[in-house]
Amino acid sequence: MKLLLLIGAGGHCKACIDVIEQIGEWQIAGIIDRKDSGITEVLGYPVIGCDDDLAELRKQYDYAFVTVGQIRSAELKIKLFNQLKTLGFKQPDLVSPLAYVSKHATLGEGTIVMHYAMVNATAKVGNNCIINSKALIEHDVVVENHCHVSTGATINGGVIVGQQSFIGSHATTKQTMSIPAQSFIKAGTVVK
């Protein structure tokens, strides 16, 4: 099994761990968090350092994954993603075995597709994205880099979701529309 560092020890980390354990191809080597967080472990996995330790840890580990969530801003996720890239870490895409991703869809690096989500034919999901549990990404959708499509959200065919956007739980889009970059769509919204 390949060793994987997780970057961020908050609530989203727990959900990512659950997906990673289900995949069964990765061994979580440890978690990196802020120096002052006071968190020592998450679901039995130790916090082994902070951001300042990543350069040294790169000598030992090839793979890392950002496990910081995103609601109001993608800024921290982007900073961590870019830091890992600069240090030469490989950032895999992770897909829950309980999700469906079409063989005709594409996923960017550092993207996670959570339990029971669907990514249909010719959809393109960018780098460092969260496709959360039970989200639906329909055919021909483009989700640009650093987006979070929340639980149960439906992105209908041909929609373009601009980079760094947040789509709230159970939000639904009309087909073939564009959502501007850095949009914040509230939970339950119908986007026309």
Burial class (CB in 10 A: 0-12, 13-18, 19+), 32: buried
Query: Which residues of the chain have a pLDDT value below 70?
Result: none
Model's pTM, two decimal places?
0.96
Share of the chain above pLDDT 90, in %: 94
CATH topology of domain 2-87: Rossmann fold (3.40.50)
Measure CA of the first residue to CA of the last residue in the chain; give whole Å. Answer: 45
Give one DSSP letter per residue of 86-100, joined into a string. HHT-B---EE-TTSE
Share of the chain above pLDDT 70, in %: 100
Domains of the chain: which residue ranges?
A: 2-87, 93-192
Question: What is the per-residue pLDDT for 102?
Answer: 98
CA atoms of 143 and 129, how far apart (whole Å): 8
Residue 52 has, within 13 A of its CA and on its CB side, a CA count of 3
The CATH superfamily assigned to 93-192 is Hexapeptide repeat proteins (2.160.10.10)
CA atoms of 188 and 37, how far apart (whole Å): 32
